[in-house]
Structure 1
Amino acid sequence: MSTTSLGASAPSRAGADGTGAATGPLRARRRWSGARLAPYLFVLPALALFAAFRLYPIGWSFVLSLYHTDGMAQTWAGLDNYQRLVDDPLFWKALGNTALILVVQVPVMLALALGLSVALNSALLRWKPVFRLGFFLPVVTGLVTYGLLMGALLNQDSGAVNWLLQLVGLPEVHWLGEPFWARISIVLALTWHYTGYNAVIYLARLQGIPAEHYEAAAVDGAGPWRRFWHVTLPGLRPALVLTVVLSTIGTLQLFDEPFIMTGGGPDNATTTIGVYLYQTGFRYFDFGYASAIGYALVLIIAVFGIVQVKFAKEED
C-alpha cells in the first residue's frame, strides 16, 4: 500500500519539477520576444500612415502611368505614355524652362548666400542676431503668400517695382507679361525666398571651422582672399554639396512660384515640369500621362542627385 503511494507520488513530483524547469526559460523567451517587439509596435502607426499616404500613392501612380485615362475610363497603354513624353514638344519646353531657371538661379542664389554668410560671421558686424533673423524671415513666409506678394510687387500697372523705376526716370518693365522678364521674375522671387535659408546653413558650417586654421594661414602670409579660398571654401565643402543638391532638387520640382505668379505664361515661358504635370492631371484629367511625367521627373532628379554626390566625392 505504501509502495503504491510512493510510486504514484514520485512521478507527480518529477512532473512538477520538470514543468517548473521549463517555465523559467519559456518566460524569459516570452519577455525577450516582447521586448524586441515593443519598438515595432510603437512605430507601427507611423509605418501604417507612411504606407497609406506615401507608398500606396507612389505605387498607384506608376500603375496609372501604364494606362490611358479619359475621365473615369482607363485603358491599358503599356509604355505609350512614356513614348508620348519623347514626342511631346511642350514637355521638352517645360524641361528647358526648368533647366534654364536651374542654371541661372541656383548659382546666383548660392553665391549670394555664401557672401552673406561670410559677412554675418564677421567679427566686425554688430547686431548679428538681428541681421540673421532679417535674412532668414523670407523662408518662413508661405509659398502662396510670398508668390502673391511678388506678383503684386511686379505688377505692370500697380506694382511698387515699376513705380520705383519711373521715380528714378527708368521705363517700366513688363515683368510678368513678357517671356524674358517673366523668367527673371521667377528667378528674383526664388532668390529672395531661399538665399537666407542657404546662408544659415553656410553660417552654421563656418562657425565650425577652427580659428587656428585662419591663424596658421595668416602666419604663412596668406591674405584675406587666399584664406577664403584655401580655408573657408574647403571647410564649407559639405555644406556646399548639401545646398547644391537640395537646391537642384527643389528647382526641378518648381511649381508654386510660376503657377501663382504667371500661371506658366506668357506663351508657356515659365511652364516648368511641375506646372505641366499639374495642368495635365488636374486641368485635363489625363492622370495616366501626368503620372508618366511624374516618374520622368523622379528619374531626372535621381540622375542629377547621383551625379552631384559622386562628383563631390571625387573632388574630396
Structure 2
Amino acid sequence: MVASPLAGRRPATKESGRRTLARRLQRPGVWFVLPAALLLVIFFTYPLVTSLWQSFFATSGGVTSWVGLEQYARLFADPLIGKSLANAALILIVQVPLMIALAVGLAYLLNQSWLRFRGGFRLFAFLPAVTTLVAYAVVFRVMLATDGGAVNQVFAVFGVEPVDWLNNEWWARVALIAAITWRWTGYNMVIILAGLQSIPAELYEAARIDGAGRWQIFTRIVIPQLRPVLIFTTVTSTIGALQLFDENYILTEGGPNDATLTPVLYLYKVGFRQFDFGYASAIAWLLVVLTAVIAIIQFRLMREKK
C-alpha cells in the first residue's frame, strides 16, 4: 500500500491561515520602513560608529596610527575642556533656572481665564522659538555692538556709558545668557502651559474651599502637579546648554579669552580648524556620556515620581 504524500501533513486551520495572512500583510510594511531605516543607518548609526572608531586614532605628519585611549587621556589634561565645561555649567546654573522660572510665570499668567487676548499673547511669547538660530544671533550681535548698537544707544539716552558687551568676559556671558533666554523661554512656556491645562479644576476648587490663597495654590498645587513637566524642561534645557554652539559662535566665537567657549564649539575648532578629528571624536563621545548621565537622572526622577 502506497502512502499518500499528504498523509503526514496537518490539516490547515483557521489560526494558521490567519498567521499566513498577517505575514503577507506585513511584507509591504517592510518596504515602507526600509527607506527610513536606511537613512537612519547612513546618517546616524554609521557616523556614530565611525566617530567612536576614529577616536582611537591620531594623525601626525599625514600618517594615521592607532593610539588606543590616548585621545581620552588628553581630555583630562586639556585646560580648555575644563573651561568649556565650566562655561556650560555656568549657563546651566544661571540661565536654566532663570529661563524655567520665566516660563512658569508666563505660562501661569497666560493660563488665567480673566486675561483677554490670551491667544495673541501666547503667540507673541512663542515667536522667538520659531526664529532661526543664526538670524536671531546675528540680530543680537548687531544690537549689542559697542559702537552704534541699539542697546548702547538706549543707554546713552539715560546718560549711561556704553557697555562693551561682546569683548568683556563678564558682559559677554551676560549677553549670551540673555540671548538664549530670549530664544527658548517661549518654547518652554508652551510645554509648561500644556502641563497647567492638564491639572484638574477640582484641585483648585477644593483649595479655595479650604481657604487657600493664590500663592498657596501656586506653591502647593501648581508646582507639585507640574513636577514631571519641570523635570522634562530642565533636563532638555541642560542638554541644550551642553550642546550650545550657534549663539556663542556667532556672538563671540567663544571669546573673549574663552569666556563663552562651550564643549561643542571647542569640538568644532579642534575638528575643523585644527583638523584633529581623532581628538574631536573623543570630545564628542565625552558629550555623549554626559548627556546619557543626565538622561539617566531624568529617568530616575520620573521613576521616583511614579
Q: Same fold (TM over 0.5)?
A: yes
Aligned equivalents of 1:102, 1:301: Cα separation in 2: 13
1:274 to 264, 271, 278: 264
Aligned partner (choices 25, 30, 39) of residue 40 of structure 1: 30
Question: Corresponding residue for 1:254?
Answer: 244
Shift of residue 109, structure 1, vs aligned partner: 0.2
1:11-69 Cα deviation digits (max 9, x unpaired): 8xx67xx49x8896798765443223332232111111101110000000000000002
Distance 1:28 1:122 in 2: 54
Q: Compute the displacement of 1:170 (Å).
A: 1.3
Q: Does 1:215 align with 2:196?
A: no
Corresponding residue number in structure 2 for 1:60: 50
Sort the Cα spacing of 1:235 and 1:178 in 2 relative to 1 into closer, same or farther, 3 A: same
Q: Is 1:64–1:288's contact at 8 Å kept on the other side of the alignment? A: yes
| Aligned residue-pair number | 303
Contact 2:232 2:298 in 1 (8 A): no
Question: Structure 1: which 5+ residue stretches go unaligned?
Answer: 1-6
- Conserved in 2, the CA contact under 8 Å of 1:70 and 1:285? no
The percent of aligned pairs where both chains have the same amino acid is 47
Work out which of the residue numbers 54, 59, 69 in structure 1 matches 2:59: 69
Gap change, CA 1:263 and 1:211, over 3 Å in 2: same
Match of 1:165 among 155, 163, 173: 155
Which contiguous aligned blocks of 4+ residues in structure 1 show a shift greater than 2 angstroms? 21-41, 69-73, 311-316
Deviation at 1:297, TM superposition (A): 0.9
CA contact (8 A) 2:58 2:66 kept: yes
Larger radius of gyration: 1
Matched, 1:184 2:174: yes
Change (3 A) 1:218 1:35: same
Quote the residue 1:4 is aligned against.
none
Q: Report the TM-score, using the length of structure 2 for normalisation.
A: 0.93
Equivalence for 2:69? 79
Deviations 1:151-178 (A, max 9, x none): 1111111210010011111111111010
Bigger fraction of residues in helix: 1
Q: Deviations over 1:242-276 (max 9, x none)?
A: 10111011111111100011011011111100100
The residue number in structure 2 matching 1:144 is 134
Structure 1 length normalisation: TM-score? 0.90
Q: 2:283 aligns with which of 281, 287, 293?
A: 293
* SS state at 1:106 partner: helix
Counterpart contact for 1:179–1:265, Cα < 8 Å: yes
User: Contact 1:66 / 1:288 at 8 angstroms: preserved in 2?
Assistant: yes
Cα shift at 1:70: 4.1
Gaps of 5+ in 2: none
